[in-house]
Amino acid sequence: MTGLTLKDIRKSYGAVDVIHGINLDIKQGEFVVFVGPSGCGKSTLLRMIAGLEEITGGDMFIDGERVNDVPPSKRGIAMVFQSYALYPHMTVYDNMAFGMRIAKETKEEIDRRVRAAADILQLTKYLDRLPKALSGGQRQRVAIGRAICRDPKVFLFDEPLSNLDAALRVATRIEIAKLNEQMADTTMIYVTHDQVEAMTLADRIVVLSAGHIEQVGPPLELYERPANLFVARFIGSPAMNVIPATITDTGPQTTVKLAGGKSVTLDIATNASENGKTASFGVRPEDLQTASGEDFLFEGTVAIVEALGEVTLLYIEGLVEKEPIIAKIPGILPVHRGEKVRFTADKTKLHLFDVDGKSYRA
């Protein structure tokens, strides 16, 4: 059973620590996505798994074997990079076969693996073409096919869709999802800064920030029950709205007073020691609904309207200084700039975070 275990993994460049004691277990066949902002350490961690970066501290195990000092070629890992890194003078077939020829596989075995990988990735009719005759998405599939041919224990993807345009990103993302289904027993680790890719591909998401793991879990768990304010704002697009608040009543339900003066009771339990403390109230743009009368969460003035057809995005000013509240309303909404609007939301969709950013639901 090919799994991957990281125990207190650390990475330093001289006196600068970039990975701070990562602990993570990845099961055989899992599709795990590392996400986080630029500079959070996700690509560095992937390169450490591949053996391209030295491990400063801790232990890494692949299939139960400690691999800290095992060279990349002996780890049973195949990596797909952001750049395609194809040989321009070689055909698709030869690009996919190159690694196996270096490993001195038989011609029959090479041909079998190349054609099997080409069939999976719908590249069979392109095997005689040079890379310059392919689209960006097809070139990336060739790079993935080259990795498949190695028959690895673990696939590593380092932002493989970043160089593609929007339409090709969607198409290639679907191809990677299909590949995951067809190779259900192969472990895959995927690095991206795009949380849409993470939400649609992952069995589990690992959210990283400044070399630390903030939360690990299935995509919808991170969306519905973020452990802290960082995860809450990183997962979801547009980002979660956050409004300064003060806790005014505690118990099985908690009452908070929002910036702007409105009091709201949440279905979140807190103890008496939290009374009077500052907090952050959170609600996702897509969970807001327009309201009339006095039963509302907050009101403000429409600053910008983005009518996208399927949804209307409203940017509301007057509640949080220097940052608008965003409402994502289904369909077409006849609202104009300068109008006063009121919003409400289902209480089960509301979030509350303490002064350190930790969720009261966690």
* Predicted confidence pLDDT, tens digits, the chain (362 residues): 468 999 999 999 999 999 999 999 999 999 999 999 988 999 999 999 999 999 999 999 998 899 999 998 888 888 888 777 889 999 999 999 998 898 888 999 999 999 988 988 889 999 999 999 998 888 888 988 888 888 888 989 988 887 777 777 888 888 888 888 888 788 999 999 888 889 999 999 999 999 999 999 999 999 999 999 999 999 998 999 999 999 999 999 999 998 877 888 999 999 999 999 999 999 999 999 998 877 888 888 999 999 999 999 999 997 777 789 999 999 998 899 999 999 999 989 999 999 999 999 86
Q: How many CA atoms lie within 13 A of 158 on its CB side?
A: 21
329 φ, ψ (degrees, to nearest 5): -105, 130
How far is residue 3 CA from its own chain's centroid? 21
What residues does 281 pair with on adjacent strands? 243, 352
Cβ(223)–Cβ(199) under 8 Å? yes
281 neighbors 350 (Cβ within 8 angstroms): yes
Locate tokens 């902002």: which residue? 37
Predicted local confidence at residue 362, as pLDDT: 67
Question: Tokens standing for 310?
Answer: 């399927």
Closest CA to 344 of 251, 269, 265: 265
pTM of the model: 0.89
The pLDDT, as a whole number, for residue 59 is 96
CA dihedral 278, 294, 288, 356 (to 10 degrees): 0
CA 337/CA 313 separation, integer angstroms = 12
Q: Are 137 and 164 in contact (CB under 8 A)?
A: yes
How far apart CA 132 and CA 15 sit, in angstroms, is: 44
Rounded distance, CA 250 to CA 188, Å?
A: 44
Q: Which three-class secondary structure state does DSSP give residue 24?
A: strand
Which fold would CATH assign to domain 241-353?
Answer: OB fold (Dihydrolipoamide Acetyltransferase, E2P) (2.40.50)
Cβ-contact 11, 19 below 8 angstroms:
yes
Superfamily for domain range 4-234 = P-loop containing nucleotide triphosphate hydrolases (3.40.50.300)
Q: Report helix, strand or coil for 243.
A: strand
* Whether the Cβ atoms of residue 32 and residue 56 lie closer than 8 Å to each other: no
The domain segmentation of the chain, as residue ranges, is: 4-234, 241-353
Residues 6+ apart with CB under 8 A from 261: none
**Order of all β-strands in the sheet with 77-80:** 77-80, 154-158, 187-192, 31-35, 204-209, 212-217
Are the folds of 4-234 and 241-353 the same? Answer: no
Tell me if residue 126 falls in helix, strand or coil: helix
Q: In this structure, what token pair is assigned to residue 152?
A: 């690895």
Which DSSP category does 239 fall into? P
**2 within 8 A of 28, measured Cβ to Cβ:** yes
